Chain A
Amino acid sequence: MAGSSIAGMIVGTVFIVIFASATVTMVDNINKAQQATEVNLPDPEIDLITAIWTSNDGGTLVLTISNVGSETISVNHIYFSLDGGTPLSIGDSSLTLDSTGSLFPGETIDVTQTGVADAPTDALLVAFEYSSSVTVT
């Protein structure tokens, strides 16, 4: 009688350990599934404050750009286009900008493009899923 009880307890304990282990594995997998909703995608907020065109030097356009978000972003990942034209990175070597390569939160920079012969009407700035546009003055 005592031997049977002990054998039953041992077998029962083994089953409990096996099921506990399976439960822990399942909880881990459920947690992993929940991580999908916690992915932090790049979410910069870059505003185009002004776009001013002057006829100097064959047409000069100065864009004033400000990082109003909380993420630092490379200038190479910020693009602008004039009147729906071909987008150009503000990090392009043909432009002049007072930045060391990154735009930090709260920072405002000027980007200068020369050789813009005709005064554009509007300028659009795009960085990841954020965009901002102004009328060129």
Chain B
Amino acid sequence: MGDGPSELIMLTTGLVVATIVSSLLLSTWGSISQGLDNQGEQELMDSKTRVSIVNNPASITWDDDAIDTEVKTSIFIQNSGKTTLNIESTYIVIGGVMMTASASATSPTMWSVGEVIEFEITVLEDDFDPPDVPTEFFLNIGVTSESNTPTGTYSASEVIRLV
């Protein structure tokens, strides 16, 4: 009976310390768990976002005679992933130069799985003027998913020959 008060004090102290430590641990644990959850969803969406080029990369016609505002070539890109893609956010870089890429009037308005979009390429001749002989360039394509919870991204690089 004589130990009663000191025992109660020790128990209370132990509970308070355990509660504080547990709170800190659970908070940290929750942050890690949330981070893994977000990362998993992002990686899943990125995995579903994918495209491939349909043109014959060995021979893509470049119209040297077209003026700056006219279409110089068309790049056909197929949605080879598992999610609908955002047409407007697509970018195309040829030879390190950002192209102005617009979906052709005949292309679908929704870029669902399997669909091919024809991107009409325009660029200022001062910015990009390939030689008159067939020449290889790096083609870089970047796309994002239509869904933004989260947004999936994908980029690809391929060597093409402009003729």
Q: What residues make up the interface of A, taking CB atoms closer than 8 Å to B?
A: 1, 4, 7-8, 11, 15, 18-19, 22, 25-26, 29-30, 32-37, 39-42, 74, 76-77, 79, 81, 83-87, 89, 124, 126, 128-129, 133
Contacts and interface: CB of A to CB of B under 8 A. Distances in A.
B114 A42 contact: yes
Contacts of A15: 18, 22
Contact of B80 (A1, A18, A41, A81): A41
Interface string B121-163: 0000000000000000000000000000000000000000001
Contact of A1 (B7, B30, B32): B7
Given A79-B116, A83-B59, A128 B52 contact: yes
B41 A32 contact: yes
B67 interface: no
Nearest to B42: A36
Contact of A42 (B22, B55, B113): B113
B33 A87 contact: no
